[in-house]
Structure 1
Amino acid sequence: MKLDLTGKTALVTGATGQLGRVIARTLATCGANLALHYINNEMKAKELKDEIEAMGRQAVIVQGDMTKQDTAFRIRDAIQNTLGNVDIVVANAVIQYEWTSVLEQAPEDYLSQFESCVMQSVYLAKAFIPQMQEMRSGRFIGINTECAMQNFAHQSAYTAGKRGMDGVYRVLAKEVGEYQITVNQVAPGWTISERDRTSEPGHDEAYTRSVPLRRRGEDQEIANVVAFLASDLSSFITGAYIPVSGGNVMPAI
């Protein structure tokens, strides 16, 4: 049994981010060609493109604000003209902001999270799902978070955006399942990324004590689950919210 994405084309939004770049590399390692989305970091996008092409894969970079519908359609057309139809969409991009209490959080922060979590996914669906329906296959994967289950203080805008995103994915899974398109979410915990490996260790003892596996997850462990959901090995899984958090959150029946 092999996780093989040879001949598939994947779009990763926010591909230059800490987690996005590992997801992109992992999908390429499994054989996929990549469309690498970025909004500001063109240098990192070009570096990642070169890295993936050195693996023998095809790669293109696409730029734009994923909270705008015209961006999703423009990116779709650019990818189709270079790599062909997209088989795998990974909605990973998210707007960063400073967390504080509900009473102190700026209203625009709630709007930004709604736009980058909910509306990005809606626009990506409108742009790419029709292609997948024609092909009668496809993988639509969103990066959610354990925070959507935790509802801790100071997380309200992020949690609200991600919980709204969860609703979109569950409904979409039911709407497109007959076309053999799967729609799933990966929900990381507090993840160790390249930034953590090149800086002073953080104070995470309290967090790790709460995790049954007694450690933080690695970015590669998140990317592995994305690759599994992108593959034929996950062909009968849809509508799932899958925590990759060492057991820190556990959806209940």
Structure 2
Amino acid sequence: MTNDQGAKYSGFPQPVYPRFSGKWVMVTGAGTGFGSTLAQRAAAEGANVVIHYNSSEDGAKRTAEFVESFGREAIIVQADLRYWDQTREMCAKVWDHIGALDVLVNNVGDIATDQMSWQDITEEVVDRVLAVDIKGTLAMIHENGGRMLKRGRGAIVNIASTVVVRGSPRAPQYAAGKYGILGLTKSYAAAFAPTVRV
């Protein structure tokens, strides 16, 4: 798959064990890059996939085409995860449409690609990165995890980064955001145990 074009066949070996057969998996930021790859892998392993995007609509459509090429169902949804009201509305629509979500993968994150040095940090950039990485992830866990608890099962996967080990001289706010995701993961794992795995 080429990340600049969204979803193209990633060459997963066949056959792949269908451990997600009949299940619904939602991946945030699935229009491009790693999120698209995760959505593809879920489909290859039998899942129907909810594909979230914020601005990469064309990439989301290509990801959906790949999912459907496996005979799976794909649903595309849009929301800016910086805003809880958009997140809440999107999640409600997803659950109303599919009935229940089995797995949530919180992949989306703002990596401040336009920032070349820590000296370039602005308040706007810090607010944006932390809003996407921490607030967005928290809102997704909150809106979907509560529903999973009521249902009696579910799993949530939060994508962090090796930056939490090595740091980021270029973008410290990105490292802070990913550290925050680790804290959210540990907190919700304790809050939702043993019903929902985080």
2:28 pairs with 1:13: yes
Distance across 1 between alignment mates of 2:58 and 2:137: 26
Match of 2:60 among 27, 32, 45: 45
Distance across 1 between alignment mates of 2:167 and 2:57: 34
Q: Is the 8 A contact 1:9 1:32 kept in 2?
A: yes
Q: CA RMSD in A?
A: 1.5
Alignment of 1:131-146 (within 5 A): 131-146=147-162
Distance across 1 between alignment mates of 2:66 and 2:149: 31
Q: Relative to structure 1, is the Cα distance of residues 35 and 42 closer, same or farther in structure 2, using a 3 angstrom cutoff?
A: same
2:141 pairs with 1:104: no
What SS does the corresponding residue of 2:149 show, helix, strand or coil? helix
Give the superposition deviation at 1:78. Answer: 2.0
Alignment of 1:143-222 (within 5 A): 143-179=159-195, 181-183=196-198
Distance across 1 between alignment mates of 2:67 and 2:168: 38
Match of 1:124 among 114, 117, 140: 140
Distance across 1 between alignment mates of 2:62 and 2:169: 38
Bigger shift: residues 103-112 or 155-164? 103-112
Distance across 2 between alignment mates of 1:159 and 1:96: 9
Q: Is the 8 A contact 1:122 1:168 kept in 2?
A: yes
Give the superposition deviation at 1:85. Answer: 1.1
| Aligned AA (1:53) | E
What SS does the corresponding residue of 2:146 show, helix, strand or coil? helix
2:88 pairs with 1:73: yes
Match of 1:95 among 97, 110, 122: 110
Identity of aligned residues (%): 24
| Aligned AA (1:24) | A
2:46 pairs with 1:31: yes
Q: Is the 8 A contact 1:92 1:142 kept in 2?
A: yes
TM-score normalised by L of structure 2:
0.85
| Aligned AA (1:140) | I
Gaps of 5+ in 2: 1-16
What SS does the corresponding residue of 1:126 show, helix, strand or coil? helix
TM-score normalised by L of structure 1:
0.67
| Superimposed CA distance per residue, residues 206-235 of structure 1 (whole angstroms, 9 cap, x where no aligned partner) | xxxxxxxxxxxxxxxxxxxxxxxxxxxxxx
Paired residues in the alignment total: 181
| Aligned AA (1:176) | F
